Chain A
Amino acid sequence: MSPSKQALLLALAVVICTAQSFSQDAKIGDVSDGNRSSPVHLLNLYDEEGSIITPQIEPMLPFSPKQTCSPCHDYTRISDGWHFNAATGVLAGRRGQPWIFVDRTTATQVPLSYRAWYGTYRPEELGITPMRFVQLFGRHMPGGGVGDNEQMQTPENVMRWWVSGKLEVNCLSCHDAEPGHDQAEFDTQTRKGNFRWAAGATSGFAAVQGSARDMPDNFSIYGSLLDDGKKIPPAIRYDRNRFDSHAKVLFNLERQVANDRCYFCHSTKVIGAQSKRWQSDEDIHISAGMQCVDCHRNGLDHRMVRGYEGEAQEYDNPGAATLTCKGCHLGEDSEEGVRAAGRLGAPVPDHVGIPPVHFQKLTCTTCHSGPWPAERAYPVKTSRAHALGTHRVNRGDAALPHIVAPVFVEQGDGVIAPHKMFWPSFWAKIERGQVKPIDPLLVQPLAAELVPADTLGTGDWPGLTQGQIATILQGLVQGDSTLTAAYVGGGNLYRLSATGRMIAEEHAAATPYSWAFAHDVRPTAQSLGVRGCDDCHAGDSPFYFAQIPVDTPVAAESGAVRRMVDFQDISSFYARLFGWSFMLRPLLKIIILAAGGVLALIFVSYLFNAFSAFIRGADGS
């Protein structure tokens, strides 16, 4: 055989092997045969070592979602989905809601994210290790991410990870339709360090007790001798009745994730005149019978469609374009030949009388989403920021972090969108002009002596004085003479001058962090502009002039406000003048209409004359 034929055969063999390996990669649960009904999930439970869990074998170990689901689903691919991939360096996309680290004692509320969103800090900048991050925020994580990433584990925590186990992607967090599913247990277990037990605890057919955090580094899940009888080792008890004769358990799983599952992490409570749950309305889409995942879709890769304009181009995902507001309601940006407008029954709007410039300068959500803007932006609480839905939630309206909405902010692309906003507050060091947050644990001993305790349990700011800030700053410098310490809060950066005088100055690090939101969507009849132009274009309209409280822990400076227009690329004077001009608009319209009418009448009458003259000319008369 000639060398060229040998090479050709070799290439063919490689192609065939590659094709085979690809076909083997697609697992049975990941390839639809076209049947739209949900398959029954009667499954053996596997522990993290891959051994089957049966009611007969003691100790009963926590089931591993990875091992239990992997036989049919590509766990690796799924675990790179949007909910899990923050720390993988994936394109961050539009700025979103960060995790907010809150510590009342040190007067801290600081935006954290593993994503590269401008204005956020990476947790390690505050000395927060992945393990602590999971303990702090695992409550509203569906597992995976840094909780399941060995490469991110810090050496000092290696033994603790052995004790706690990994926080694997918990498929049940989203897909479980079991009535007894208790996502709040995820919070309880992650705080206790019971990462490998957390999924089981939420499942509704198992109970977990004990705390891995209390266990020594040499703790073994197969049994350990403890020197303290009061400490309870983590252990799981299954409802044995749920096991069939083959040790299989019926999971009630749904492909189409129920809204309740999304709501656990994505709820917003608006604190205002109508803040009671029965007084507020659902998003119009939900009221119409839709589910969150009807728009926020994903494939096997679990890269959820976030639904903002430009996402399709950013992620090279043309399908995402059809799932934005405009994609569904107007059919814009859809692929050639695809009729996307009106899908799922989306009404195609007429927008009668609205000048097209509004569609260039505003997102759809500006007029249609969130609470109707009032004279002052509403305080809001969100699941992820305020631990809503967990057993440890502070139900007080003043509980930190202090987020307000809606704030109409001009985004980087020049388009105005409704945002949620809060003002970062944290202790910092200044290095080469850069403001970097300090680990709050370093500040706590200094602050604890000065800051009054939250005896009423409001969770509100302690109300710092500038003197207290100065004392803490001096304390920080005493601990590390090379440090240039500062405090960021209420839009200011506080630092001590060379003479020890307190200096407060505006600083970029103190600017508020905001992120666009899209829900709840209001119906057409409750959209901005429905009552006329002066819903926004008036001398005192909330759209431009609503008060945005400058939230600060510094008691003497509380009460300051900014105006909505301060976050738009427009001068307050112009906005007010433009608003006032609308008072003359009816008169203007009448004058111009009359003038145009006169011109039109003249033109038409002389045109008729011309025609009649032409006809007479043709007659020879």
Chain B
Amino acid sequence: MLKGSVGLIALGSLLLSGTAFAQEKIKVGVTATLEGTYTVLGEDGMRGHQTALNVLGKKIGDKELEFVVASTDATPDSAVRAVRKLIEQDKVQILLSPLSGDEGIAVKNFAKTHPELTFINAASGAQETTYVDPAPNFFRYNMDGAQWQVGLGKYAYETKKYRKIATVGEDYSFIYTQVFGLVLEFCGAGGQVTNRQWVPLGTKDFASVIAALPDDVDAIYLGLGGADAVNFLNQYQQAGGKAHLMGGSIMIDQTILSSKGNAKNALIGTIAASGQADTWEDPGWQKFVKAYQDAFPPAKRFPSPSLLATNYYDSTMALILALRQVNGDLSNNQAKFREALAKIELDAPNGKIKLDSNRQAIGTNFVTEVVDDGKGALFSKVVKVIPNVNQTLGYDPAVFSKIGLPSRTVPECKKY
């Protein structure tokens, strides 16, 4: 009896898969940080991805997209493991990966070992990924961490009159890149960065870090994300901290601004910069926010999409639009598809995006300030919109290359 029914099920599934094969599929592997410190970021990234599918659909001519999701934990080896699994076991043809900075560098290097496949960066923002020795089959439609800080240094110096600041950041490539962008601009304007503290990704107890914050500075810049940011704010509140704050792109983001508890209120009035601003009035942005809100019930999403949701939306959009341009043609090692990807100009919700010769995005950046909407929800309000931000941040490429690669101590605090 049991054997009989097992046989029936097997037969049934054979028949079913038979009908599914009638339509050709294009398999795409997606990775997101669904474990560890950045879990919340990965989840919202996937929401952005889903929103793009809702808006654009999965059809490419007569083919259909099929997505396989793999989870990572923001470490480079977890990303490579996930990507390898997607390629070798699931036989994906295109990758939408990864989310986090160090992962990006590792996946870019890995991409070179698979020149026949195409990699579209999902959200990672380390500078090195596309600036140093870029992979010809790796495309990034989001700006890097330094581009996302454009405008913040000047705003802090000129409008807020901050003269001396200190930074606290997670100890990895994306935050190095963010601090790089901030320091270049702030010190270029005449400010001083007196102290840069680095904490390991996944730090839970920040009490000693908070105690070591200097008190002779005008503001403290926080380059933290996910659980780290929430823990920091909670302990900062318990320690009675009162300094002016400045925030990085994943610190002043819905992933943190809508966390549970009241520790986030320390962020009201904080200035930040990022590739998006929650309250931007642009109709394209508002349409995207609406699509995101309609796609999920309020308890299963943030009030407004996070930077990760936007990045995943944009990269999924690039993937679908480019595939449609070539009508799903992946022959000749995906050459036509890559050509389309390199040329495409996205009318993305967070401004127009096009790629440079390293296949790195040139896009729009936003300086923001955190406001309370009166009902206890926090949002980032636009202060300034800066279009056409490129990877060398407006510097002459020769000058820019002399600054060095973002690290714990680079760049020096001076005018380049």
Q: Do the two chains belong together in a single complex? A: no
Seen from chain B, the residues whose Cβ lies within 8 Å of a Cβ on chain A are: none
Seen from chain A, the residues whose Cβ lies within 8 Å of a Cβ on chain B are: none
